[in-house]
A and B are shown apart, each in its own frame.
Chain A
């Protein structure tokens, strides 16, 4: 069934495209929304990503549906990064913060996904981008450095800043409960 869908997508079958869109759009929208923080923009950029996937599917050679979904995610993330670069809202300063090897104390509280989501949204743009790429997408610092055209150490620094900021926000949020 899944292979048939991929085959149909390769043939630019409209119904297969709609099916593939409908089963993946929500997850892709959430990714874009996490990066861009704007609903309309996230929708538009995600659609651009789907358009690229449907029109460049001949470049996808791994075959299966899982592979195609992973590839789609990568395409969509790249679209978001491009959009951020267009907006020129990612700004990385040169003053690098030395990476702390010390593991911070982290409140052991079970949090809902939406809370994580909203907290990440509140991070500054540059920290949020690096955090999303490293923690959520699983990029290495080298890959982030290439994607954002920044030094690898800058990626490390901004990840650390993001972690600290996130930790501070979580602690603040649960301050009353933990006291």
Chain B
């Protein structure tokens, strides 16, 4: 073929025109090439088969994932619950030893709830705590929050009490008035503090050597005025102790008692001081010239 010859049916066209012609032709193409067996119905059928299965698979995997998630959630909730321990010592004091070596003694009529995941101890009543290891513990009480680690202390705080009392025998304990307030006081080894609700923290050196009597069940006095002894007995026992002679109140005594019971201690006092003890129910009267 020679298109340069005028007699031949040839013409020069721009590419744009050719491209446009081809594009239009292909766009107008309504029928499939003769050698093609594909049809819209077949295509749709294949689509349904492939993607319905895929969607079912996706739904299956999503359901499985959701099921696994729910199981994990249940496990987490269950295990979280397992990490919470509530102990109510009603008529008898109790002792708990934790995995990290921490020991907690709970006095009678006291309650403790432990969250071992967050290391939180909720207190209502009196406890003596020996914290071990490097874990920081929060002790939440009706009078405020205490934070400590690796320290030993006795803490008494209850909703019905006007003040909380803490005595630190090892390490230090930080006290916060309320969470986020930023006001804190540190009570160190050998100090005790009386925390009057929303009013004051009164820190003093440890005055009461028998602050752990409820735990040790011993009382020790060294040249102590008798009224100190009787006050402690009243505190530890549900009793009332009176003196028929004011002088005898100031008589001093030294002794170690292997019991904290008022009856037991008061029975021994006449052997130490020149006096007699009379009992009437829960009431005791100490009589005599004394020292």
Binding site for B on A (CB under 8 A): 18, 21-22, 25-26, 29-30, 33-34, 39, 42-44, 46-47, 50-51, 103, 105-109, 111-114, 116-118, 120, 134-136, 138, 163, 171, 175, 178-179
Contacts known (A105-B10, A107-B3); A44 close to B31, Cβ less than 8 A? no
In the assembled complex, which residues on chain A have CB atoms less than 8 Å from the CB atom of B37?
Answer: 39
B47 CB–A CB distance under 8 Å? yes
In the complex, the answer to whether A108 meets B23 with C-beta atoms within 8 Å is no
| Interface membership of chain B positions 32-47, coded 1 if the CB is closer than 8 angstroms to chain A and 0 otherwise | 1110111010111011
Shortest A122–chain B CB gap in Å is 12
Contact present for A178 and B22 (CB under 8 Å): no
Q: How far is the CA of A34 from the CA of B29 in the complex (A)?
A: 12
A26 to chain B, nearest CB (A): 6
Is B26 in contact with chain A by the CB < 8 A criterion? yes
Residues of B106-146 whose CB lies within 8 A of A: none
Q: Name 5 A/B residue pairs within 8 A (Cβ), A-sorted.
A: A44-B46, A105-B12, A106-B12, A106-B18, A178-B9
A114 to B8, CA, bound (A): 25
User: Contacts A25-B40, A43-B42, A47-B46 known; A114 to B31 CB distance under 8 Å?
Assistant: yes
Whether A47 lies near B14 (C-beta < 8 A) is: no
Q: Which residues of B contact A (CB under 8 A)?
A: 1, 3-4, 8-15, 18-19, 22-23, 25-26, 28-34, 36-38, 40, 42-44, 46-47, 50-51, 54
User: When chains A and B are docked, how far (Å) is the Cα of A143 from the Cα of B43?
Assistant: 30
Cβ-defined contact, A178 with B42, below 8 A: no
A144 to chain B, nearest CB (A): 14
In the complex the two chains form, is B23's CB within 8 Å of A136's CB? yes
Residues of chain A within 8 A of B40, CB atoms compared: 21-22, 25-26
Whether the pair B22, A135 counts as a contact (CB closer than 8 A) is yes
Query: When chains A and B are docked, how far (Å) is the Cα of A120 from the Cα of B19?
Result: 12
Which chain B residue shows the least CB distance to A47? B47
Select B26's contact among A22, A43, A116, beta carbons within 8 Å: A116
Q: Are B51 and A171 in contact (CB under 8 A)?
A: no
Closest A residue to B49 using CB positions: A47
**Given A18-B44, A44-B46: A39 and B22 interface contact (C-beta under 8 Å):** no
Q: Which residues of chain A have C-beta atoms less than 8 A from B46's C-beta?
A: 43-44, 47
**Residues on the B chain within 8 Å of A114, using CB:** 29, 31, 33-34
Taking the closest CB of chain B, its distance from the CB of A30, in whole angstroms, is 6
Q: How far is it, in angstroms, between the C-alpha of A167 and the C-alpha of B28 when the chains are bound?
A: 21
In the bound complex, residues from chain B placing their C-beta under 8 Å from that of A30 are 26, 29, 32
Report the bound CA distance from A112 to B51 in whole Å: 36
Task: Give 6 closest A-B pairs by Cβ, nearest first.
Answer: A113-B29, A105-B3, A113-B25, A108-B11, A135-B19, A47-B47
B43 and A47 contact, CB distance less than 8 A: yes
With A21-B47, A136-B23, A136-B26 already in contact, the answer to whether A178 and B38 are too (CB < 8 A) is no
A111 touches B36 (CB 8 A): no
Of the candidates A106, A116, A175, the one whose C-beta lies within 8 Å of that of B11 is: A106
